[in-house]
Amino acid sequence: MGRRSGILEFAVLGLLRESPMHGYELRKRLNTSLGVFRAFSYGTLYPCLKTLLANGWLIEEPGNTAEEAGAASLTGRRAKIVYRLTAEGKEHFEKLLSQTGPDTYDDEHFAARFAFFGQTSRDVRMRVLEGRRSRLEERLEKMRASLARTRERLDDYTLELQRHGMESVEREVRWLNELIESERAGRDLKGPASGESAQQDTTNGATGGLPRPGNTSRPDTPGDTAM
């Protein structure tokens, strides 16, 4: 299983843990709630759903509202399929939530994991946050060393681009420091334990018990930071 497909499967399982959904609803939630999936299509989603069905982690059910049934009958189209998480799927998702290996620190995977922190235990959140911070501190050190070696050969615009990339990483490190401090103090997000609420809280500034560091309440999208 590729890394990208693994992240998508994780996110689909997490969203369906909240409630059953049509494929269209899933795609919309992935696009709007999890920014890492802004550019993906149905052609990516449905093979993922097929794999999850084959593994026994999802089941398909017909749309169950009278309005949907009537519309399908009038148009002659097949009723919309609703995807529901099975007990095995829930167990598998909880196993994925407990993982704290190096993949969870990567740009795309971290963004997806953070969106479901409301469903993640505090000790796992701490390990993921600390791993992400360590990964970025290593990246920042390499960027500074590279800039020091090449500064004299760069034109002004390339130099500013390098500085911008470093500042983006520095902002995320500061943000992570504050999140880690809050976790250690026993503070976490308030309200429903859902991936969407966690993502909205970090993007809209409504952080509940988490820090709100002024104009940098959320770092640049991890996938946009300079490598």
Q: Span 36-64, mean pLDDT? A: 85
Buried b / exposed e across 47-68, counting CB within 10 Å, b at 16+? ebbebbeeeebbeeeebeeeee
Largest Cα–Cα distance of the chain, in whole Å?
71
pLDDT on residue 68: 53
Tens digit of each residue's pLDDT (9 = 90 or more) over 29-41: 888 777 666 666 6
- Residue 213 φ/ψ, nearest 5 degrees: -80, 65
33, 195 Cβ separation under 8 angstroms:
yes
pTM of the prediction?
A: 0.72
Both structure tokens of 53: 């069905």
CA 221 to chain centre: 10
Q: Is the pLDDT of residue 79 over 80?
A: no
Average confidence score pLDDT of the chain = 79
Cα 154 to Cα 176: distance, rounded to the nearest angstrom: 31
pLDDT on residue 85: 96
- Residue 64 φ/ψ, nearest 5 degrees: -110, 10
pLDDT on residue 193: 42
Cβ-based neighbours of 198, under 8 Å, separated by 6 or more: 114, 115, 116, 117, 118, 189
The angle subtended at Cα 150 by Cα 149 and Cα 156, nearest 5°, is 140
Tens digit of each residue's pLDDT (9 = 90 or more) over 92-144: 999 999 999 998 988 878 988 998 999 999 999 999 999 999 999 999 999 99
Q: Is the pLDDT of residue 189 over 60?
A: no
- Which of 146, 149, 189, 200 has the alpha carbon at shortest distance from 169? 146
Residue keyed to tokens 């795609």: 27
Asked which of 15-24, 199-208, 210-219 is least confident by mean pLDDT, the reply is: 199-208
Q: Is the pLDDT of residue 224 over 70?
A: no
Q: Span 179-198, mean pLDDT? A: 65
Cα 45 to Cα 34: distance, rounded to the nearest angstrom: 14
Cα 58 to Cα 49: distance, rounded to the nearest angstrom: 8
Asked which of 12-21, 67-76, 111-120, 201-210 is least confident by mean pLDDT, the reply is: 201-210
pLDDT on residue 194: 41
